[in-house]
Structure 1
């Protein structure tokens, strides 16, 4: 039986768009229809005579009803069993059970099993009936919202644990190194972006460091960044160096990326145990800063193209540079200097970043304070024009003691 109740009146916020009545008694079904007609609820009523018929109807419904009125005595189910089965078929729908005058305990048991309320047949009036349905629908919505929020919090906590686990822990064998880092993902509510970095010290005392940037900002780019970081660490520990390392990462980029336009820039450093020189391999990545005795220099060694551009084996040269005494090497991704700093298309740029690093706000700071001041200064410069929208990674490698 299909019918409408109060369809000429405006729908209240708490009115269910449709209501399913599961009732085997035609007289009681007619009573429910009359109560709806006399109430101010505007809804569409559907009547089925058994739990099996209700389950079949729900399975084929395009939209679930806002409320189900369920008789506790049906030909094929009764009591708590009926409530459990109907909730399994429509878990997001409010259920109000219909009981006899002497079945108060059965009604309470139904509520304990998941029903929102119970109504006693023969003791109903239209106002009470309509209010019970509205309250049941609203309580179910609040309950569902609370459950969704809790599930969202649990997912967010689990995602945060996973992302924190994917961030690198430097692999060091001596205590005279100073490693400072700052990571700011561009995606809202994320801990991990497409930028990546790592630092490894091999048994002979050589320090290897990498920083890279996967184009794009989604989860797939973040996953590729993690893949490349792990591959880089594995290759370094296996003795791969120089252009061979770049060629390996090129192959992995092409094989693992989800979308062919994605490309990757990176810089890989090798600092020998004597700390007097620095070997650099660059693939389309920005330069690096060298801090020494209060001076800051932007260095841009020769390099090859970004990975994944389809240029074949073009070569990525390894460049050796002298390293000043008490030097600190700072690598960064382009998100640090590409924020807008003016109303046009003015950006901080690498020269502006170098000026910021050499400025008073960063002067004399230790490694971690310097890294934080550099990022905070870049964010402040872009604050009035959208901030730093891209992923940002900064890594500083230095020594605790002078040579």
Structure 2
């Protein structure tokens, strides 16, 4: 909302000299520098909406007398002004409240609706101060009383109005940024939860890195749950696309996975349920999700893995690091009307072995001079150089190296989620 300190009242008492005897006032070098800083090198565009020719000439002369360069446009009716506002957005609008096709606040409201970025200054008559104050309350930046202004006061009013408008827009952008940050935080809490562990037999290291162009979290998600039988269950998934809708769907799938696992769903039944959730909650039929899920029963020498259109994973053992690929089924939501199958594959594991699951953002970054992607084999080569590192350092080294290799292409474009699980048999 505009300032209630209207310049019409603030400078009225100081501007009583007759217009005819007010000679052009030269602008000092200090003032000229100040104005040039304000205008940032290009004269501001001011649109005058005024049907009275005498008042229009008065405004033009005030601008000339001020010594400040301004690009002045003119519209004689509101309809003409709205058409001009469609073609070019001025920094300031000088609006007469009495036009042939609009009167009072109706004209102001239509101008404000057309251009939210311009500072609107209302022009009133000598007896219309209340109308000026009402216009400020309705959203104008200020009001000016015709015939009561000198050139310097007039240009100062325009300058202040523009500065106040820019401050308002900056404050609104800041508030939007804060709301977006709060939304990010809520989505992050849903996508990147605290693992639900009942003992210390498994250690979890998790990382999430947004892609270079993402203002919001994408749909990557992960979770880890230990059930009362001592089994460890984990999932890493990726909803196609980016933005709040995809992130919210990722949260939905992550929460649903945890609930279904804790309720006893396993194997084919588990992924059938998740696909039903995805189809019911997605914003369009083109949205799908990939995931890899595993279960390690307490004390077992194996993990049971399901894969739905997702990359493979790394297994760390006393012999080093290997890339593990298992048979899988389609991504969730790709063929919901078919009886899709997601087989459960048993993979041998050392008692103190470790598994690293990840989303495709880690392996799809471009590397080198050509459009070559890192891919799973490239990630495995990196991992083999860091096989002796502990979990946190190992994961960070892989992400950092993948990011560095893609530096010439702007870094990793997609979100990256990594989940590293390491079992401790001494517990």
> Above 0.5 in TM-score?
yes
Distance 1:294 1:384, change over 3 A: farther
2:106 aligned residue: 56
Distance 1:399 1:71, change over 3 A: farther
Give the distance between the partners of 1:179 and 1:20, measured in 2 at CA.
70
* Residue 277 (structure 1) aligned with residue 283 (structure 2): no
Distance 1:73 1:162, change over 3 A: farther
How far does residue 13 in structure 1 lie from its aligned partner after superposition? 2.7
SS in 1 for 2:405: helix
Contact 2:351 2:425 in 1 (8 A): no
- Unpaired stretches in structure 2, ≥5 consecutive residues: 1-38, 65-69, 75-93
Could you tell me which of 353, 356, 365 is aligned with 2:382? 356
Give the distance between the partners of 1:69 and 1:53, measured in 2 at CA.
12
Contact 1:96 1:136 in 2 (8 A): no
**C-alpha RMSD of matched pairs (Å):** 2.9
Normalising by the residue count of structure 2, what TM-score does the alignment of the two structures yield?
0.74
Give the distance between the partners of 1:149 and 1:190, measured in 2 at CA.
14
1:318 aligned residue: 344
SS in 2 for 1:69: strand
Could you tell me which of 297, 317, 336 is aligned with 1:292? 317
Give the distance between the partners of 2:302 and 2:242, measured in 1 at CA.
35
Distance 1:139 1:329, change over 3 A: same
* Residue 86 (structure 1) aligned with residue 135 (structure 2): yes
The Cα offsets for residues 183-217 of structure 1, whole Å up to 9 and x where unpaired, read as: 12226353521211110111221111001112222
SS in 2 for 1:344: coil
Give the distance between the partners of 1:30 and 1:335, measured in 2 at CA.
64
1:37 aligned residue: 60
1:112 aligned residue: none
Normalising by the residue count of structure 1, what TM-score does the alignment of the two structures yield?
0.79
Distance 1:73 1:304, change over 3 A: same
2:83 aligned residue: none
Contact 1:294 1:363 in 2 (8 A): no
Could you tell me which of 106, 112, 121 is aligned with 1:67? 121
How far does residue 48 in structure 1 lie from its aligned partner after superposition? 3.3
How far does residue 97 in structure 1 lie from its aligned partner after superposition? 4.3
SS in 2 for 1:315: coil
Could you tell me which of 168, 172, 183 is aligned with 1:159? 183
Give the distance between the partners of 1:56 and 1:261, measured in 2 at CA.
45
How far does residue 129 in structure 1 lie from its aligned partner after superposition? 4.0
2:143 aligned residue: 96
Aligned residues: 353
1:334 aligned residue: 360
